[in-house]
Structure 1
Amino acid sequence: MKQTKVLILGAGGAIAHHVIQFLQHHGNIHLTLFLRNKSHLKGIKGPNINIVEGDVLHHKQLNEAMKDQDIVYANLAGSLDKMARQIVEAMEKNGVRRLIFVTSLGIYNEVPGAFGKWNDSMIGNSLAPYREAADIIETSDLDYTVVRPAWLTDNEEVDYELTQKGEDFKGTEVSRKSVAAYIADLIQHPRKNIKASVGIDKPGTEGDKPSFY
């Protein structure tokens, strides 16, 4: 049985942790978990898991991790524009085509009404590198899916709906586990939502702001 080799960048994050839990017992999937500090993955091990310490902005480390991968899933924070550029270059160099990249709602001014105004007041100034990252990815030749989650909760549930680029964003919040379930589904069915930028929220959470604010 041929394994699908998946490189998870930012593997120590909360959404990535759920993705690992969804996929770690699938014998047809091999996970390379790339993060700055291995201690963030205590207790995660298995025959189909390889853990690599490294920095996405360190060209050599990223390039080494990228070799022979089939899918790259990036769940990062900070200078996303610089990271996106490095990731695209490393994927092109190593002939890896499938990319799943998490950004944020609001990067296209796609959040309507009072919630859109609230969201912009809360995070609008920090969205520029997230939008630039999406632009870098969308102008590449990669088979990408950009994922734009609503405000995140730690609720133990999988309940989500999707919107496409050009459509109004719907709800105000979504669980990290739901976002992870969608990403795990993309990894298991990599022909889904190619060349797409997808908003993800929990149905029925429309409002002026998330319920926890």
Structure 2
Amino acid sequence: MKILVVGANGKIGRHIVRHLAEEENVTVKAMLRKQEQIEQFKHLDVETVIADLEAEDGVFKASQDVDTIIFTAGSGGHTGADKTMLVDLDGAFKTIEAAEKHNIKRFIMISALHSDTPKNWKEGMEHYYTAKKRADERLRHSHLNYTILRPGWLTNDEPTGKIEARLNLGKDGSITRQDVAMTVVKTLHLEETFYKTIEIINGDIPIDKALTNIN
């Protein structure tokens, strides 16, 4: 399996690349925007590619030799609406379209908790949730074997290896970025996560078990 990580230099993306590099029978391709970002990946056995998600054909060229895409790119919830729409919405659309054109089978999207429930959107972040909601809808209407992960508030705490994962959590919560990354890796081959939108926060159940018993 050859996996393109879009947004590999991001706070979650770096953890995803590191965990994937430890997996057997996996080749990792990290998509980066700048040449100087390559340095941090040199100690890992991964391929890097310089491509601009905002360019018309950047992700299309970067994804032509892979069979799985993990989309973890994001402008962040506190950027202006224009930048958020360019990255979180247009960038996601371009990546999904590239996957379709290349007949890529597996696609994992990092989204955000409450993307489907506007009443829970934080004031001032409406553009961010709108972008995530529309990108998720686009992926669900594709022919791709998708998993959409919607983590709660992200922290840089040490990982616990335990989460709460449901199709509808119905509550707020936080999760470490490393636990999100580990969850992403676990979903790659886990059929219980195929064609599902899963909300995740830190909890008391080991990641494997939580995902296997998703409901």
TM-score band, normalised by the shorter chain? 0.7 to 0.9
Instruction: Give the paired residue count.
Output: 192
Among candidates 98, 113, 123, match of residue 105 of structure 1 = 113
Matches within 5 A, 1:116-135: 116=120, 119-121=121-123, 123-135=125-137
AA aligned opposite 1:174:
I
Are residues 1:197 and 2:205 paired?
Answer: no
* Residue of structure 2 in register with 1:68 after alignment: 65
Deviations 1:149-174 (A, max 9, x none): 1000001113211111xx24334211
TM-score, normalised by the number of residues in structure 1: 0.82
* Residue of structure 2 in register with 1:90 after alignment: 98
Are residues 1:9 and 2:17 paired?
Answer: no
- Runs of 5+ unmatched residues, structure 2: 75-83, 205-215
1:93/1:29 CA distance change after superposition, 3 Å:
same
AA aligned opposite 1:90:
A
Output the CA distance in 2 between the equivalents of 1:61 and 1:84: 12
Output the CA distance in 1 between the equivalents of 2:136 and 2:51: 23
Larger radius of gyration: 1
Deviations 1:102-138 (A, max 9, x none): 1111111188xxxx4xx53363453111111111111
Output the CA distance in 2 between the equivalents of 1:192 and 1:63: 29
Judge conservation of contact 2:21–2:44 (CA < 8 Å) in 1: no
Q: Secondary structure at the match of 2:53?
A: coil
Judge conservation of contact 1:110–1:168 (CA < 8 Å) in 2: no
Output the CA distance in 2 between the equivalents of 1:192 and 1:98: 14
Output the CA distance in 1 between the equivalents of 2:109 and 2:124: 22
Cα offset for 1:201? Answer: 0.3
- Indicate the percent of aligned positions where both proteins have the same amino acid: 22
- Runs of 5+ unmatched residues, structure 1: 205-213
Are residues 1:24 and 2:51 paired?
Answer: no
Judge conservation of contact 2:140–2:195 (CA < 8 Å) in 1: yes
Judge conservation of contact 2:169–2:199 (CA < 8 Å) in 1: no
* Residue of structure 2 in register with 1:175 after alignment: 176
Judge conservation of contact 1:81–1:136 (CA < 8 Å) in 2: no
1:56/1:202 CA distance change after superposition, 3 Å:
same
Q: CA RMSD in A?
A: 2.1
TM-score, normalised by the number of residues in structure 2: 0.81
- Runs ≥4 residues deviating over 6 A: none
Output the CA distance in 2 between the equivalents of 1:97 and 1:183: 16
Cα offset for 1:198? Answer: 0.8
Output the CA distance in 1 between the equivalents of 2:136 and 2:33: 23
Matches within 5 A, 1:23-42: 23-42=20-39
